Amino acid sequence: MEKVGRFGDGMGLSSDLVLAAEQAVRAALEPLGGRPPDLALVFASGADPELLAEAGERGRELAGAAATLGCSAGGVIGGGRGVENVSAVSVWVGVLPGATLRTFHLEVMPTEEGAAVIGLPECELTADEVAVLLADPHSFPVDGFVSRAGSVLSGLPIVGGLAHGPTGPGSTRLWVDGRTVDRGAVGVVIDGASARTMVSQGCRPVGPAMTVTEAHGNVIRGLAGLPAVDKIGAVLAGLTPPEQALASAGLHVGIAADEYTEDHDFVVRSILGTEDDGLLVGDLVQVGQTVRLQVRDADAADQELRAVLGRCPGRPGSGALLFSCNGRGSQLFGPSYGGAGHDGALVREVLAADAVGGFFAGGEIGPVGGRSYLHGFTASVVVFP
């Protein structure tokens, strides 16, 4: 007797994006044995925004799910592979018995006080809720929204990523149920699916952990009592030659998500440059926070993802959504690591997942230390057991 699963994924590759969507949906639905999915996600990459819109609408129509979400992207993950910068559609479907799904479209509206985000559904937060969020980076302040949501919706894990438009602002396409929109953010709040979330960093720490002793906004001026630039120079001088080579290729800073834990989880941010003796970083920093230098490294990223996934015991029959940084894929992982397919293949292997779908994002959303952040160079995962 043929096994009937709860999750399925598929990939369609074709210059005809509608045809690619049809191929992807057929492959994704096959494991369900004729059962209609409760949730479907459609991701499409290509050069023409209108063709992307048609592909998303066709994928939604054929999937026949109670709730559908999706976006345009620079690359997609599904069907056991990852592809970048080609015309392709990935579809992921899931049967989620007993779960409640509430889709939404967020927009920014002007107010007397400045601006407000509207469209978030009312929800009574439970311990079994997770939100998936897909955003247009040109029209939606996702970093500010996620940060604010950490206070207003405390305890709600938010997972997702920034979509991509092939021709810049206005060309991003987002799908929510029966609509295609070109701005804002779309998402779904899932309650009762026993979903688990995790974030794997694409960097590894080097040098010692340091306390910020002077800071203004996003400028770190003092580290461990010394001018920040001087302290960083001393740390770099003490690294091993291989670590120095990685640092010269790109240096980042990790900011501790929780000062009260013995082993810090770091939120990695870019170092944007220097200002006098200060260090410009891609986030606000406060005196007393712990920071540590970070470098990008394929082997470390591979081991980190294995370790993070290993904390969620794999069980055959699960499904996973994966939002991987567009700076990972083939840019980080060479052929020996599986290239663009690395993250998806590893998620499928370690979690024993039946289906893994997602896309390469221009920024990934996921919780670290109990609070959701917008990340870079990470793989953000939500697992449905």
**75: in domain:** yes
Helices (H), the chain: 17-29, 49-63, 142-152, 228-237, 241-249, 298-310, 329-332, 342-351
Q: By C-alpha distance, which of 299, 235, 294, 243 is closest to 264?
A: 294
Kindly state whether residues 289 and 305 are assigned to the same domain. Answer: no
**305: in domain:** yes
Degrees to nearest 5, angle at CA 380 with 378 and 385: 150
Kindly state whether residues 120 and 267 are assigned to the same domain. Answer: no
Kindly state whether residues 279 and 304 are assigned to the same domain. Answer: no
Q: pLDDT grade, residue 123 (50/70/90)?
A: low
Q: Which of 247, 266, 296 is the last residue of a domain?
A: 296
Q: Given this model, what pLDDT does residue 254 score?
A: 92
Q: Which of 296, 323, 338 is the last residue of a domain?
A: 296
Q: Which of 281, 296, 311 is the last residue of a domain?
A: 296
Kindly state whether residues 70 and 105 are assigned to the same domain. Answer: yes
Kindly state whether residues 277 and 343 are assigned to the same domain. Answer: no
What is 5-32 written as a DSSP string?
-SEEEEEEE-SSHHHHHHHHHHHHHGGG
Q: By C-alpha distance, which of 55, 82, 85, 87 is closest to 71?
A: 55
Q: Which amino acid is at 383?
A: V
Q: Is the pLDDT assigned to residue 1 strictly greater than 50?
A: no
For residue 322, the cross-strand partners are: 358, 381
Q: Given this model, what pLDDT does residue 297 score?
A: 87
Kindly state whether residues 86 and 117 are assigned to the same domain. Answer: yes
Number of domains forming the structure of the chain: 2
Kindly state whether residues 23 and 168 are assigned to the same domain. Answer: yes
pLDDT digits (tens, 9 = 90+) for 317-330: 899 999 999 999 99
Sign of CA dihedral 192, 37, 39, 76: positive
Rounded-to-integer distance, Cα 104 and Cα 139, Å: 16
Q: Which amino acid is at 115?
A: A
Q: What is the pTM of this model?
A: 0.91
Range of the domain at 18: 7-200+300-384
Kindly state whether residues 39 and 89 are assigned to the same domain. Answer: yes
**1: in domain:** no
Mean pLDDT throughout 98-116? 89
- What mean pLDDT is reported for the chain? 93
